[in-house]
Structure 1
Amino acid sequence: MQIRTFSAPKLHLALSKVRKEFGPEAMILDRNRGHDDEGNAIWQVRAARDGESGSQAKKEMKPAAQPSAHPDLDHRLQHSMQHLERIVSGLGRMETDTLRNSLHDENERRAFDTLLSCAVAPTHAHDLAPAMAATGEARARCLRWGKRLQPQKQRETVLVTGPCGGGKTTMIANLATHFHMQGIEVALVSTDTERMGGLEGLAAYASVLGIELHALRRSEDAAGILQKTESARLLLIDSEGWSQANRKSCRRQGPPWQALAPTRRMLLLPANLDEADGMATLEVAAGLYLTDLLPGKLDETATAGKVVNWAARSGLPLSYCSFGSSVPDQMGWLNPKTLATLLQRNHRKEST
């Protein structure tokens, strides 16, 4: 068994070091708050793990055994495994309790509890709680914030991508309507040309607004489309949906995207997506040079905290968001204040 002591100015940073070095299987032995040689406050966490590495364990894996001839032994083994699972669950609760107790006052602890009720991860809730309690804003180092589109100052070419059925077309229609109503010339492009019905929805919005829609079926046609739309201050690009189970579709779109040379690449993640599926989607999207994270369908989730977890995991700045399918009334802009309001409303809804 390996035992090490991890030190950091904040408890959650020390625990983060434990997870990074020892993995989720690490056992926390004790936590102490003290001071370093220069008198600065410091947390020390002593942790332990089994000495075998994950790769070594994999090498030693054996083929699945035949059904055991000793059912009583199997029952005892299953009972022991369930006991270990309860121990691991208890350690998770201990970590959460330790993070909660390390906050300065009851207001911060109430904010921490509110964030946990919305499914914000404990470490992120610990980071957010002080600002939530003091200013009512969701500010923390784990979150970044995007910049609003300003086509009136410079031409913007914006690509919106994401999972199938996530609401990309609706988000593009919202953006197009918002800026068109301000008198800004907008044009639309779609690379979703192979799927049946892929163009119809966006074509309907374009017809209502009276703006151009161009279908890009081959990368070679991108130059001609860019020339036709050069007077537009905002060029919005709709794309074919994909998922972590259909990575080929994601990779296939690389050449047309590159040919259109978008200045912003926005990933739309619908909030009705399971958090784990959202994390898997972010892994697939890691090589797409994304610039913004757009949470969609925020009205269809009871756990809005997953948006915080996605943003912190990906490092993508939070940007525009949507609360439904109505155009253009249900599009918004996420900033520290609006995110805090969203989480508080989510908490109140769950409480009632």
Structure 2
Amino acid sequence: MSGLGRVVPVILCGGGGTRLWPLSTAEKPKQFHALAGETSLLQQTVARVSDRGLFSPPLIVAGISQSTLVAEQLGDPGADSYRLILEPVARDSAAAIALAVVASHPDDVLLVMPSDHAIGNRGAFLSAIRNALTGLANGRIVIFGITPEYPATGYGYIAAGDVIAPGVHGARGFVEKPDLARAENLLAAGQHLWNAGIFFARAADFASAFEANAADVIAAARNSLSDAGAAVMRPDGAPLDVVRAISFDRAVMEKAGDVAVVPVDMAWTDLGSWDAVADYRSGNASGPVTADDCTSCLILSDGPEVVAIGLQDLVIVAHGGRFLVTAKGRADALKTVLAAAAENRREP
């Protein structure tokens, strides 16, 4: 471990994504659902870092309204299970990570990762972590880069530079979600990786990067968190109410000077749409579903009986008395459509 202590997993659990509506809602977002196996994405994320020879008990950052869901799935928080930071207000990933940094010892090695991604190859994940440990010199933040499989337009990209340690490259810059033509060019060039949103650094180095690039965010975290040693931390909402909502990528990583990237092929997906879920799942139906002569369809139901005949390239989801029917390739529009529907309902 290169003289460093055990790795502290920081699991970001506060998201309330609507791209998997009607299954995922603000009341129970996708990380609390079993979308890629028998257990929830959160439970899988925690299990992935359960080796106590390598990892300390995780630090979980969740919305205050999600405390019951976390406890239902993981048991009660405590020194030997997990610590919990309950965000009083959502301010995107920069504020969530800043709270975790403030709650940690400066020498802690933090592995920051989302709670709602699927990773099919745990061995490759652990190998990437061991490589990342060798890349932490000189205050670097290390990011995981996924070997791209196709010209994705829904992911950000990071350019890998020269090798600086075994399995570790310098980073030459970030590319926001590109259009298809640029994504094809990035893939053809062979030097860009998908940005997995998994970050690795000493807490002190995270703090320094915040100070240099987003001092207001780390200041708000420090002003809000007074119970950093507790099993359950409840930050004061007032300092966070006025801080900007911004992602960690935009606030820090795109400006930070000394960034490294670890390329990894670990059967990863962010399950960011129903199309992604359909591509990742081995089965195309779940629940009381009868499908006859259906090709390339994902059909899920939590109770209503669904009979589908002669369909192709559709996603059908029945959950909680709500139904979604969409053509594959159009599922990315769901968030926009739901927002427009909510606006229409508000009109007099």
Q: TM-score range by the shorter chain?
A: under 0.3
TM value normalised by structure 1: 0.25
Question: Which structure would you say has the larger RCO, counting Cα contacts within 8 Å and 6 or more residues apart?
Answer: 2
- More strand per residue: 1 or 2? 2
Q: Quick check: which has more Rg, 1 or 2? A: 1
TM value normalised by structure 2: 0.25
- More helix per residue: 1 or 2? 1
